[in-house]
Structure 1
Amino acid sequence: MGTIPPPNTGDLHVSVEDLDAAAAYVDRLKQYVDDTISYEMERIKERMKGDSNTAQTVPGGTPFGAYEDARMQWQALTKSTGNMETHLQTLSQKLAALKQGTEEIAKAFRDTEARNGANGKEIERLLEAAAPPPAAGGTPTYPYTA
């Protein structure tokens, strides 16, 4: 079994604006799942109930009928619909976690950029306060005397 080389990060560039845009896009996906798809699932479940004006007169009957195959098909459809609802809830939770994680990464990069900027300004200030370099062939001067 071979070894996996480390990723090449030589030209890695992080755009906080793109991370913010990605978080907004993921939020729109989550809203679509929560609003549109979940609404359609509710409509499917209502349609599965059948005609509510005509009551079932056969004990154990389903909208597909009362014979054994109809009951098996109804159970399979009910289970499938329940599984789909569970998957939609899981998808919504994972999209929410993805959005939160993306926002945290963007915040970390914003904080790092701010710290780097502050450190850069501090380094510039220290360099400007230091004694100028000696002229070519000259003796360095030190602000401190012994």
Structure 2
Amino acid sequence: MSVSDERMIAVGREMIDAWNDMDWDRAASLMTEDAVLHSMMIDPIVGRDAIHKRISGLGALADSIALEVRNVGVVNGTLYMERLDRFVCKGKPGATPVCGALEFEGDKIKVWREYYDRHHLLSEMGMAQDFDTSTR
């Protein structure tokens, strides 16, 4: 079942809203059971439950999150969202530019690729070492 460009954009914005609300159950519910989350500089995470664990764990490090969408569009059936991800971690504000690419199966996200500078993110979060053990 194919999904319209408009529906992909709506689901992408729903994902952004879930992150801004720090509602990890809602964010995970937008993904297929066998979805893949791949922050390109670390190993991919496979499966809705594993993704939920990863994003809720990341969310637990933040006091607040505000993903600001700068540009959004669909190219060749893939949704692209350029963002500035703002957050406060342990009282320290930070931000990092991100580009996400989302592929769909029906109206659920099947593959979610994130492109950003990992060193910059960790620095902005005030972390001396990576919080994600899959990078080691």
TM-score after normalising by structure 1: 0.20
TM-score after normalising by structure 2: 0.21
User: Of Structure 1 and Structure 2, which has the larger fraction of its residues in strand?
Assistant: 2
User: Of Structure 1 and Structure 2, which has the larger fraction of its residues in helix?
Assistant: 1
Instruction: Compare CA radii of gyration and give the structure with the larger one.
Output: 1
